[in-house]
Structure 1
Amino acid sequence: MIVAPIMLSLTMSAMAADHEIKMMNRGEAGQMVFEPAFLQIEKGDTVKFIATDKGHNAETIAGMIPEGAAPFKGKINEEIEVTFDVEGAYGYKCAPHFAMGMVGLIVVGSAPANLDALNGARVPNRVRQIFDGLVTQIDQ
């Protein structure tokens, strides 16, 4: 009886995927961007934010993460790895370039329950436009 939970845990760990997001001064979508800016992943997956260019960080945006999820905040010029264990939508930003629209969206699972909170969060107009476009990419 003890072996079954251990095997299930190992199987789930083996199925978790690793993803990468680059923090960039210039990318396909313009200046001051995350690439990709949108990811839809599974619960237990890990995302590594890569400091491709200097002067960037990755951190959650207040009011734009699922209930019960832990916020994350990377340091400027440093990579950060985050494992996502709570399903929902996570808005994140580069703090120094937030007003310029350096934001992204990670969706864990499908049909995130916190989309209303994400859509209702107060953010600069440029950021709102970007999030509106990112939300349309969610597979539901």
Structure 2
Amino acid sequence: HVKKFIATHYVMEASNSAWNQQQSFYAAGNKDEGNPYDSKNSLTEEEKANTEKQTIRGKYLSVVIAKNLSMDINQFNKYNPGFDAKLSAQGEYDLLLPADKMQQFLANKYQILNECVNSILGDEPLPPAKTTYPKAGRKKSP
């Protein structure tokens, strides 16, 4: 029982426990952002009429998509509120973009995904994916 008590004490009472960090977060005057699943996009009727939807799966990042589509990140977030949180939690997301930007996204989808993954991995470019085979040698006849 002593080990369990010590472990419980460490988790509940330690200055670096998650509970104490959360309390200090709120004590500093920070506000909770709320449930990211409750966020709805606030598009006008004209913007809604000019949008296309595409379900995407993968490790996409909103800033990389916005950069590749030459969109302002605030405009991207207006069309896709809570993009990063929802995509990482659910594994898929219904991406909304203006029609011209959606065509650009679909044309460069794999390059954007590759850049997103490289960004997650630490901005180190991956080596080219190619298979190297040994040179064919001639068989000697007996």
TM over 0.5: no
Normalized per residue, the structure richer in helix is 2
Normalized per residue, the structure richer in strand is 1
- TM-score, normalised to structure 2, is 0.29
